[in-house]
Amino acid sequence: WLIFGPHVQEIWHTHEGMRLSRECDAAEDGRAAIFNNPRGKRILISRPIDVSNISLLYMRLGSGTCPPPAPTDPPFQLLITTDCLNYSNWLLAYSQQISPGIEHVTVPLSLVNLTNSSTVCLKIQQKGEKFAGSGSWFIDDLLIIRSRQLAEYFFETFQTMRSTNWYRLVGGQLKTCDGRISMVFEPHADIRTEIGATTIDFSLSGIIDYNRDVVFHLSKNISIDWT
């Protein structure tokens, strides 16, 4: 569930101090939710979300190429509530200071045991109404994943893409490489961030021989040289 797409108004109830933008080279594609007004509230509240059988929430968080918030500014917070009628009784689920020098981090958050309710609302905020300087931060690629049985291994041939394997595939497309269908990454003028692939979590428990290394092979020149 990619939050900041064309149906953003259907997902979010209200916001202050936020706008959808391509600033700060933050968006992998489309736009990200940017917060950078030096005065006023910075808040984003969702409409009710069905979290029955939900296990994980992923999100990208950072300042991109823009100056980050000052160290004295309050941290980013993610809160949840089951009171989606009055939008009260918020529970803090995650908090993090936006660090300078780090363009973004991918945050996985377990929703298991956070609530017994089947419906919740989310609040994203930076508390306060006056911030030092004009430091920016963004949130993007917020994805909620329904519970599933973790695979015993990770396997991808790219013959038929397994969408459950991948969190993001930026700049990749299926092409014939060395006589085989592969996921090929090439520079693209419309993509202003790093290209690459990020997997969804998968379990290696029970199949790893801890006396051996796990090796990932990568070729950047049509399978001539491998690293």
Neighbours of 74 (CB within 10 A): 14
pLDDT at 101: 63
pLDDT in tens, 141-160: 887 776 655 444 556 666 66
pLDDT at 8: 58
Counts of helices then strands in the chain (DSSP H, E): 1, 15
pLDDT at 34: 87
Average pLDDT across the chain, whole number? 75
Pick the residue with more confidence: 144 or 193? 144
* Confidence grade of residue 134 (pLDDT, cut at 50, 70, 90): low
pLDDT at 157: 63
CATH 2.60.120.260 in the chain: give the residue spans: 8-146
Q: CA 60, CA 62: separation in Å to the nearest integer?
A: 7
Mean pLDDT score, 180-208 = 66
| Radius of gyration of the chain measured on its C-alpha atoms | 20
Short-list 104, 24, 101, CA closest to 60: 104
Mean pLDDT score, 123-151 = 76
Residue 68 is classified by DSSP as P
With a CB cutoff of 8 Å and minimum separation 6, the contacts of 184 are: 172, 173, 174, 175, 177
Mean pLDDT score, 65-85 = 87
Tell me if 105 sits within 8 A of 61, measured CB to CB: yes
Backbone φ and ψ for 17, nearest 5 degrees, come out as 70, 15
Tell me if 199 sits within 8 A of 183, measured CB to CB: no
* Confidence grade of residue 54 (pLDDT, cut at 50, 70, 90): confident
Q: CA 46, CA 163: separation in Å to the nearest integer?
A: 26
Mean pLDDT score, 32-52 = 86
pLDDT at 75 over 90: no
Which amino acid, 57? L
pLDDT at 152: 46
Tell me if 58 sits within 8 A of 39, measured CB to CB: no
The CA distances from residue 195 to 51, 139, 178, 189, 206, in Å, are 31, 18, 21, 11, 32
Percent of the chain topping pLDDT 90:
11
Q: What is the CATH number of domain 8-146?
A: 2.60.120.260
pLDDT in tens, 22-36: 888 777 667 788 888
Q: What is 170-222 written as a DSSP string?
A: ESEEEEEETTEEEEEE---TT--S--EEEEPP---TTT--TTS-------SST
